[in-house]
């Protein structure tokens, strides 16, 4: 277990942050929720049909006696949540439509977060990313001054820790949008007690090649610097110039990064998704995420190929985000 994860647990000890899991009929989710319920880090709220969850638990010999389970179809707070959803959607849905929509576990779970009946949500083991993110964008929405959400990964190998983004949400961004992702990623890193040193990546280092693509990254780096001057941010960089001090000395001797970047911003989603998976599969890094950032309250998206351990750990990240938001650190 890495020191970073140990620190997350220490910071969450005794907090019992309420995290809702919409996919309670998935074995990985149910098992992780049971394990989390044994801790004081997270208080899990599991959604789904009680009979189906009980049947799954009995089949797998799981003890769910002390687990909080809510069925969206007949929840005692359903009417309150329906009214709040109609108001939030500002007349775009009728009450009857809202009642049907909130039978969907992701919409229902997102409303629990929005109405402060839960602090964060973890989904995606059985649902696509759009089905997880769409309710969050419609209901929780992005923070003031933030135009979009983005997805980052914390990459851990023993006590090495790096942050990579956007690896999950936005296919292509203009310079201002890319700068926003860089700034939000730096802020997310800070909320996890990581001191960010941010490199915006390309196939060029400080003008070694000059194309529309490299200029977009170069401009984004300057925008990000202007928005967050207290954080070391630079680009455009080839990866080796951002990561290897001896290469940085040759390619970018005047940069404050000096080959010590720990936050890497990719120029496109294509590059980001490929990049983190290369680090994961060839480099032996554990990938935690995607952590969604830019929302008013935390909603995080699992891979449909996730393991029970990944569900457990993503809940810890979600709880940490929730605490940071409550404490005004994000």
Which residues lie closer than 8 Å to 265 by C-beta, 6 or more apart? 165, 166, 178, 181, 182, 185, 198, 199, 200, 201, 220, 235
Nearest Cα neighbor of 293 from 324, 272, 316 is 324
Q: What is the pLDDT of residue 305?
A: 83
Q: What is the pLDDT of residue 330?
A: 59
CB 199 within 8 A of CB 265: yes
CB 291 within 8 A of CB 300: yes
Q: What is the pLDDT of residue 306?
A: 85
Q: What is the pLDDT of residue 193?
A: 92
Strand boundaries in 143-239, DSSP class E: 150-157, 160-165, 198-201, 233-237
Q: What is the pLDDT of residue 1?
A: 52
| Averaged pLDDT, groups of 10, the chain, 330 residues long | 86 96 94 97 96 95 94 92 93 91 95 96 89 92 93 93 94 96 96 96 94 95 96 96 95 94 97 95 91 94 87 95 82
**What are the extents of the domains in the chain?**
1-141+295-330, 145-294
User: So what's the architecture of 145-294 in CATH?
Assistant: 3-Layer(aba) Sandwich (3.40)
Q: What is the pLDDT of residue 124?
A: 87
CB 3 within 8 A of CB 280: no
- The answer to whether the Cα torsion of 229, 290, 299, 18 is positive or negative is negative
Retrieve residue 11's tokens: 């910071």
User: So what's the architecture of 1-141+295-330 in CATH?
Assistant: 3-Layer(aba) Sandwich (3.40)
* Helix/strand/coil for 150: strand
CB 196 within 8 A of CB 189: yes
Retrieve residue 144's tokens: 């003031």
1-141+295-330 and 145-294 share one fold: yes
Q: Per-residue DSSP letters for 11-66?
A: HHTTT-EEEEES-TTSHHHHHHHHHHHTSSSEEEEEES-HHHHHHHHHHHT---TT
Q: Per-residue DSSP letters for 156-179?
A: EETTEEEEEESSSS-SB--HHHHH
Nearest Cα neighbor of 100 from 88, 90, 85 is 85
Q: What is the pLDDT of residue 204?
A: 95
Q: What is the pLDDT of residue 159?
A: 86
Q: What is the pLDDT of residue 165?
A: 94
């Amino acid at each position: 277990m890495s020191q970073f994860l140990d620190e997350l647990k220490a910071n969450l000890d005794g907090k019992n942050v309420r995290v809702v899991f919409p996919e309670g009929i998935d074995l990985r989710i149910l098992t992780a929720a049971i394990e989390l319920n044994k801790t004081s880090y997270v208080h899990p709220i599991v959604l789904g049909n009680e009979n189906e969850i009980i049947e799954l638990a009995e089949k797998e010999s799981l003890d769910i006696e002390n687990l909080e389970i809510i069925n969206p179809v007949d929840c005692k707070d359903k009417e309150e949540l329906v009214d709040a959803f109609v108001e939030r959607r500002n007349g775009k849905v009728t009450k009857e439509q809202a009642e049907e929509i909130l039978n969907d576990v992701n919409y229902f779970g997102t409303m629990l977060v929005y109405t402060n009946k839960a602090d964060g949500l973890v989904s995606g083991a059985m649902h696509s990313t759009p089905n997880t993110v769409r309710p969050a964008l419609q209901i929780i929405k992005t923070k003031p001054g933030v135009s979009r959400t983005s997805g980052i990964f914390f990459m851990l190998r023993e006590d090495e820790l790096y942050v990579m983004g956007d690896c999950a949400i936005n296919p292509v961004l203009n310079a201002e949008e890319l700068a926003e992702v860089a700034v939000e990623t730096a802020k997310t890193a800070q909320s996890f007690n990581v001191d960010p040193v941010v490199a915006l990546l390309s196939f060029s280092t400080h003008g070694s090649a000059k194309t529309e693509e490299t200029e977009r990254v170069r401009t984004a780096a300057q925008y990000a610097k202007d928005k967050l001057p207290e954080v070391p941010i630079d680009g455009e960089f080839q990866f080796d110039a951002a990561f290897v001090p001896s290469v940085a000395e040759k390619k970018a001797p005047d940069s404050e990064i000096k080959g010590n970047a720990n936050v890497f911003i990719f120029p496109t989603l294509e590059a980001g998704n490929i990049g983190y998976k290369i680090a994961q599969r060839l480099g032996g890094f554990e990938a935690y995420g995607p952590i969604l950032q830019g929302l008013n309250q935390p909603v995080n998206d699992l891979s449909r190929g996730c393991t029970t351990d990944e569900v457990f750990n993503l809940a810890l990240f979600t709880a940490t985000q929730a605490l940071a938001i409550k404490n005004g650190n994000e």
